[in-house]
Structure 1
Amino acid sequence: MPRKSNTDTRIYVLDTNILLHEPLAFLSFKENDVVVPMTVLEELDYIKDSKKDVARDARVCIRAMEDLLSEATPEEMIAGVPLEGLGAGENRPTGTLSIFADLNMVEAQQIFTSDENDNRIINVALHLQKTFAPNQVVLVTKDLNMRLKAKGAGLAHVEDYRTDQLITDIKYLTKGYHQFEGDFWTQVKSVDSRTEGRDTIHTVPRSLLPEAYVNEFLLDETNHFAGLVESMTSDHFDILDLGYERLMSRHAWGINPKNIGQAMALHSLLDPHIDLVILTGPAGSGKTLLALAAALEMVVERNMYDKIIVTRNTPEIAESIGFLPGTEEEKMAPWLAAITDSLEVLHKHDENTKGSMNYIMEKANIQFKSINFMRGRSIQNAIVILDESQNLTASQLKTIITRCGEGTKLICSGNLAQIDSNYLSPVTSGLTYLVEKFKDFSGSSTINLDGVVRSRLADFAENHL
């Protein structure tokens, strides 16, 4: 049990889902003490040997705690083992980590009608709150219902895990472009323009848009100006003049943009200097279709890459993929139907659509891969399309991005309104984390596709249901 001498420090009780979301989360609480209930260790032990996607995260967490607590005596584990010297950066932990044995029903407050794991963890937090008052005891969990139960049971402080949360509301998420009111040039006080080959570059004062970042698109309401921030200094930034009409005339594999959002996305997708393209937006905005069209254009027509690898997060894939017949590609087909649907749209006017699809899949070397088998690989000179990435955590996305070797382009797409994970929300999704972390990286581009182009039925449903 943690020994508290300073009432300014807190005691954080961690739920299992926090350690599955980030295995080293117990290092993120600075000078405060961390308590892991025995029930949490039991749940981690059960999960580590399961076939679930989070089994690896459970094993990483268990190993990390074992490294810290292996030399500690039972008394020290209960009292708290110092975390000093662990972690990285300025916010290294200085508190302690302790394991709290479960309370029996005599010791626990008789509040709950059942002895479920969540209730046992809440009882630990309630016991610590009573024992260590006036120190704050905080239960940290991603389970919304558990937070409600804990509050109802009398726990004063309950929180979500927000260490990896970069924004407070999804409305503040970077869109990848900035639209000026009125005409762009009426707001520019001074400009220095030059020509580099066929490109025109404008150097304007940084005060025009202080929060601008590299590869951010600039538009105006008159639809006359469209530019891209190429580079910046503390005083100025350079804008590549794209031209609104020229941007709208971009095309790939027979696909033309239907709105300016798709035009900006297509520009980034076809730019060989962009290694990471992040596409967000509602269902039906064209994310998958544009990604596949651009990938085919660059692989088949321009010979810039050797192959296309398509992957996505597949719930319960570890348990169910093995029961499906065929090769890995055939097993993945049910989860990647969106890709084959888009491929069919791209060739619907061909004389033999099925024959064209089979030919192109072989010609472009399109491979369907399970996300579970991406670990340990080094993907060279390929285009990787990661679909439905809103259901991934930051650590899972990092695993995939670090697989990309020399000459590989990664396209991440997702709709933050369609998160299926029990423990992720739009602000804690790995896709949101990726957008905010990479917005200042010169090799990445983010585009929020606003507007459903699938059909008027889909558009009405997106806005009214």
Structure 2
Amino acid sequence: MTEQSTIYVLDTNILLHEPFAFLSFQEHDVVIPMTVLEELDNIKDRRKDVSRDARVAIRALEDTLVDASPEQVMAGVELKNKNETQSKPGRLSIFNDFTLQQKAGALSDNDNDNRIINTALYLQEKNADKRVVLVTKDINMRLKGKGAGLAYVEDYRTDQLVDDIKFLTKGYHKFEGDFWRQVHDCQSETDGRYTQHLLDKSLIPSAFINEYLIDEEKTFAGKIVEVQEDKVAVQDIGYDRLMGRQAWGIHPKNIYQGMALDALLDPSIDLVILTGPAGCGKTLLALASALELVVERGQYDKVIVTRSTPEIAESIGFLPGTEEEKMAPWLAAITDSLEVLHKQDESMASSMNYIMEKANIQFKSINFMRGRSIQNSLVILDECQNLTASQLKTIITRCGEGTKIICSGNLAQIDSNYLTALTSGLTYIVERFKDYTGSATINLNGVMRSSLASFAEENL
């Protein structure tokens, strides 16, 4: 079967996940069941983040179909080609699934998911020469579709850049044994306090800019500063120098934290992505570096702290107070880290209040970041594994001149119903920014919180 003969039936959650998803299927036919439009209509007025995505999807569909007649909408309206390699334009149509007659063997039509599945079954029966695919992020709906007789049921994967999370860039390359015993060709040049080595790229075939190099023997630590066609330029930092990094009194407990601090304190790096298990020090290192850069070094004017606010258990209800007071329960991890940084002070509460004012730490809701232009600030985006790629794009594009952003998250603790470790916005930006000269990614390997936390991370 040729790829030109495919019909994609989209579920509602696809358009909520990515409002312009119907444009991503190149030369294929895309069908939107009427039930999907009704669900979008019900969602668009809710007071939740997802309502905005519903409104954007509705407007995008309207812009595409605005000049089409009812007959054309049912038959399919041509979409513009997205790239030069596309062989022919795709088509978008609306299918009135409410006109379908209940058939023997079909699912009952008293459920919206069932109506969408029945639409795909009907199209599969009427278009035997074509490949009809139901696209949904709902795992149970995919199971129901297969059980009902759909030949093709798929997840939406255009924003999925890796097939397995174990292939995700860690931000460093660890060599077995002694690093220098594996180097056969090296040209070195010293400039000031740093030495730069020009190595054969075959030593690190998948080298990325700002990727760190370490070895098991703790004899070498360096950072890739340039990637050429057959050579890699590596700045020799030194293992002891990495372990000697410090920010606001915090010293690295392992080499991974050392690499993270090096990237966090580097003024040439505008985006630092910290991944790793719970208790590995992501938030503490980010906050300590923020205080060091704002208060001690004066490189930025303020610290803006934000995060997504999924409700893991019961709703905490309507919270009174200012925006920062409403965000306080969600940002307790930041205040916990502040307490750790100042627990030795004579009056911890007074120290925290002083630092909050001195560093101009502002707690902001992610809902109100859109439309802003953030200048000369350090932005800490915590728990960003719960954000989609489009949400992260919205935040990162807010950052103006002289702004550094720190994104941290644990891909094992995703609370969103529609995201997995592979489709999380955190995974997306790690892969998208791995070749960008102004970014660095560090996977903080190892739980430093406590032996209890470490055991729980490994065994639960």
Normalised by the length of structure 2, the TM-score is 0.96
Give how far 1:408 is off. Answer: 0.2
Higher mean C-alpha deviation, range 305-314 or range 57-66: 57-66
Q: For each residue in 1:301-325, what CA deviation from the matched residue of structure 2 results, as whole angstroms up to 9, or x when unmatched?
A: 00010000000001269x9798211
Provide the rounded CA distance (Å) in 1 between the counterparts of 2:316 and 2:300. Answer: 29
2:20 to 16, 24, 49: 24
Provide the rounded CA distance (Å) in 1 between the counterparts of 2:343 and 2:87. Answer: 57
Distance 1:206-1:325 versus aligned 2 partners, 3 A rule: same
The correspondence of residues 206-217 of structure 1 with structure 2, limited to 5 A, is 206-217=201-212
- Letter of the 1:78 counterpart: M
Q: Is the 8 A contact 2:168 2:431 kept in 1?
A: yes
Higher mean C-alpha deviation, range 156-165 or range 64-73: 64-73
Provide the rounded CA distance (Å) in 2 between the counterparts of 1:165 and 1:390. Answer: 14
Q: Is the 8 A contact 2:109 2:115 kept in 1?
A: no
User: Does residue 409 of structure 1 match 2:411?
Assistant: no
Provide the rounded CA distance (Å) in 1 between the counterparts of 2:21 and 2:156. Answer: 9
Q: Is the 8 A contact 1:122 1:150 kept in 2?
A: yes
Distance 1:92-1:351 versus aligned 2 partners, 3 A rule: farther
Q: Is the 8 A contact 1:103 1:124 kept in 2?
A: no
1:387 to 375, 378, 382: 382
Q: For each residue in 1:355-412, what CA deviation from the matched residue of structure 2 results, as whole angstroms up to 9, or x when unmatched?
A: 1100000000000000011000000000000000001000000000000000000000
Q: Is the 8 A contact 1:313 1:389 kept in 2?
A: yes
Q: What SS does the corresponding residue of 2:128 show, helix, strand or coil?
A: coil
User: Does residue 172 of structure 1 match 2:167?
Assistant: yes
Unpaired segments ≥5 residues, structure 1: none
1:33 to 4, 13, 29: 29
Specify the alignment match of 2:297 in structure 1: 302
Give the paired residue count: 459
User: Does residue 266 of structure 1 match 2:261?
Assistant: yes
The correspondence of residues 377-456 of structure 1 with structure 2, limited to 5 A, is 377-456=372-451
Q: For each residue in 1:196-234, what CA deviation from the matched residue of structure 2 results, as whole angstroms up to 9, or x when unmatched?
A: 111111111112212101100001111110000011211
The correspondence of residues 228-267 of structure 1 with structure 2, limited to 5 A, is 228-267=223-262
Provide the rounded CA distance (Å) in 1 between the counterparts of 2:87 and 2:320. Answer: 49
Q: Is the 8 A contact 2:160 2:423 kept in 1?
A: yes
Q: What SS does the corresponding residue of 1:265 show, helix, strand or coil?
A: helix
The correspondence of residues 82-231 of structure 1 with structure 2, limited to 5 A, is 82-83=78-79, 85-87=80-82, 90-91=85-86, 94-104=89-99, 106-113=101-108, 115-231=110-226
- Letter of the 2:261 counterpart: L
User: Does residue 14 of structure 1 match 2:10?
Assistant: yes
Q: What SS does the corresponding residue of 2:330 show, helix, strand or coil?
A: helix
1:79 to 75, 78, 89: 75
Specify the alignment match of 2:320 in structure 1: 325
Give how far 1:182 is off. Answer: 1.4
Distance 1:76-1:107 versus aligned 2 partners, 3 A rule: farther
Normalised by the length of structure 1, the TM-score is 0.95
Q: Is the 8 A contact 2:26 2:81 kept in 1?
A: no
Provide the rounded CA distance (Å) in 2 between the counterparts of 1:7 and 1:187. Answer: 46
Specify the alignment match of 1:55 in structure 2: 51
Distance 1:76-1:108 versus aligned 2 partners, 3 A rule: farther
- Letter of the 1:263 counterpart: G
Provide the rounded CA distance (Å) in 2 between the counterparts of 1:320 and 1:310. Answer: 22
Q: Is the 8 A contact 2:11 2:135 kept in 1?
A: yes
Root mean square deviation, CA, Å:
1.8
Q: Is the 8 A contact 2:168 2:427 kept in 1?
A: yes
Specify the alignment match of 1:341 in structure 2: 336
Higher mean C-alpha deviation, range 107-116 or range 378-387: 107-116
Q: For each residue in 1:143-166, what CA deviation from the matched residue of structure 2 results, as whole angstroms up to 9, or x when unmatched?
A: 011101111111110000011110
Provide the rounded CA distance (Å) in 2 between the counterparts of 1:78 and 1:152. Answer: 28
Higher mean C-alpha deviation, range 58-67 or range 301-310: 58-67
Provide the rounded CA distance (Å) in 1 between the counterparts of 2:87 and 2:261. Answer: 42
Give how far 1:112 is off. Answer: 3.0
Identity over aligned pairs, percent: 70
Q: What SS does the corresponding residue of 2:407 show, helix, strand or coil?
A: strand
Distance 1:406-1:334 versus aligned 2 partners, 3 A rule: same
Q: What SS does the corresponding residue of 2:328 show, helix, strand or coil?
A: helix
Higher mean C-alpha deviation, range 88-97 or range 147-156: 88-97
Provide the rounded CA distance (Å) in 1 between the counterparts of 2:100 and 2:397. Answer: 48
Give how far 1:105 is off. Answer: 6.3
Unpaired segments ≥5 residues, structure 2: none
Give how far 1:8 is off. Answer: 4.5
Specify the alignment match of 2:309 in structure 1: 314
